Amino acid sequence: MTQAVTTEGLSKRFGKLEALRQITFSVPEAELFGLIGADGAGKTTLFRILATLLLPDNGKASLLGLDTVASYRQIRTRIGYMPGRFSLYQDLSVEENLDFFATVFGTTVKENHELIREIYDQLEPFRKRRAGQLSGGMKQKLALCCALVHRPELLLLDEPTTGVDAVSRQEFWQMLGRLKQQGITILVSTPYMDEASLCDRVAFMQDGRIMAIDTPTGITRLFTKPLFAVRALDKHRLINELRAFGYASSAYAFGNAVHYTDLRLSPEPQELAAWLKSRGFDDVEVQRIEPGIEDTFMALTESSRPEQEPSDG
C-alpha cells in the first residue's frame, strides 16, 4: 500500500520548549488517521510541519511521496489544510469565501461541486451570510468546504471539532467518513477521546512524543489492569477516598462514575466495596468493566508522567 504520509524522527523546538521529539509514523492512502492528545502535546506543530509551514529541526517528512522541505510548492497545491483556529475571512460571506479559495487554487466551486455538495447543501441557506456570523459548527463546515474546494488528495485537519456542539461534531465525522470513501487520506487531530474510536488508526501524543499508534480497539488492548466503575452519591469525596486506598493505582471521574484501577493483578470488588462502606459510603456500587479508549489514554498519560516530572511525587 502506498503511504500518503511518512515521517522519520521529526523534531522541533521553540527556544527551550521541545514541541516535537522524534516523531515517526506513516499513514497509508485513504486512511482516516487520528492524532489524539491534550493541548500542548505538539499536534499543531506537527500539522504545520506537514503543511510545509514550519521547517523541522531534525528528521524528514514526506507527503504524497514529496519531501516537505524540498518540494513544498507541489505539496501545497495537492493538500487541503484546515488550521486549528477558524481562519476564514469573517467579513466575507460564505459564498465569497468559497469562491475566493477556489480561484486562489485556480479552480471553481462548480468544478468540484460534487465533492463538497453534501456539506455545501447545509451551508446553502446561509450563502449570503458573513462567515463571522455563522455558528461554530457551520464555520467548521465552511472551513472544510474551503479546504476541499481544490480536490486535495490529502486533508490535514487540526482540531476541526473543537468548540463545536455534539450534533455538529457527529455530522462532521460522518462527512470525514464519506470523504475517506472517495479515496482522500485524512489526518485529523482532536482533544476529544470519543472521536478517536471513529478513526481507522490513532496516535496518542503527549509532550511532543507519540506514545502509541494502533487501531482504536488495539489501543484499548494496551490497557491490561482490571478496571472498576465505582458509583456513590458524593463523587468528589469518593475520588479522594479511593486515592487514599492502599492499593490504589488511579481514580478519576468518568461520567457519573469513578473509574478505579488497582495495583494488584486480581483485586476483589467486594473487598473494595466493603472498605468504602466502612468509610461511610452506604450507597456504594462497584462493578468490573471493560476499558474504553479514554481509559487507555488516561492510563498512557499516567504511566508517562513520572518519567516527565520526577520531582512530582
Partner 1 sequence: MKRFIGFVRKEFFHIMRDRRTAAILFGMPVLQLLLFGFAIRNEISEVRTGILDLSHDVVTKKLTDKIFSSGTFVASAVLNSGKEIGKAFASGKMNEVIVFEPGFAGKLQRDGTAQMQVITDGSDPNVSRIVTGYTESVVRDFLREKSNAAGAPVGVEAVPVMKFNPALKSVYLFVPGLMAMILMLVSALMTSISITREKETGTMELLLVSSLKPIQIIVGKVVPYLLLSFVNVLTVVGLAFFVFGVPCRGSLALLLAESLLFIMTALSLGIFISSITNSQQVAMMISLAGLLMPTVLLSGFIFPVASMPLPLQAISNIIPARWYLVIVRAIMLKGAGIAVLWKETLVLMFMSLLFMTASVRKFSERLQ
Q: Tell me: does residue 76 bind partner 1 (CB under 8 A).
A: yes
Q: Which of 34, 83, 137, 208 binds partner 1 (CB under 8 A)?
A: 83
- What residues contact residue 57 under an 8 Å CB cut-off, 6+ apart? 11, 12, 13
Scanning 24-32, 99-107, 227-235, 302-310 for contacts with partner 1 by CB under 8 A, the matching segment is: 99-107
CA distance 19 to 302: 20
Q: Tell me: does residue 105 bind partner 1 (CB under 8 A).
A: yes
Scanning 16-24, 72-80, 242-250, 303-311 for contacts with partner 1 by CB under 8 A, the matching segment is: 72-80
Q: Binding string to partner 1 for residues 141 to 160, with x set by CB under 8 A, is what? A: -----x--------------
Distance set, CA 149 to CA 107, 109, 118, 129 (Å): 8, 6, 13, 19
Specify the 3-state DSSP secondary structure of 146.
helix
The one-letter code for the residue type at 95 is E
Q: Tell me: does residue 229 bind partner 1 (CB under 8 A).
A: no
Q: Which of 20, 36, 41, 54 binds partner 1 (CB under 8 A)?
A: 54
- What residues contact residue 58 under an 8 Å CB cut-off, 6+ apart? 9, 10, 11
Q: Site residues for partner 1, window 115-144 (CB under 8 A)?
A: 130
Minimum CB–partner distance for residue 225 and partner 1 (Å): 42
Choose among 153, 125, 162: nearest CA to 143.
162
Q: Tell me: does residue 166 bind partner 1 (CB under 8 A).
A: no
Reading the block at residue 187, the C-alpha cell is: 489526518
Q: Tell me: does residue 233 bind partner 1 (CB under 8 A).
A: no
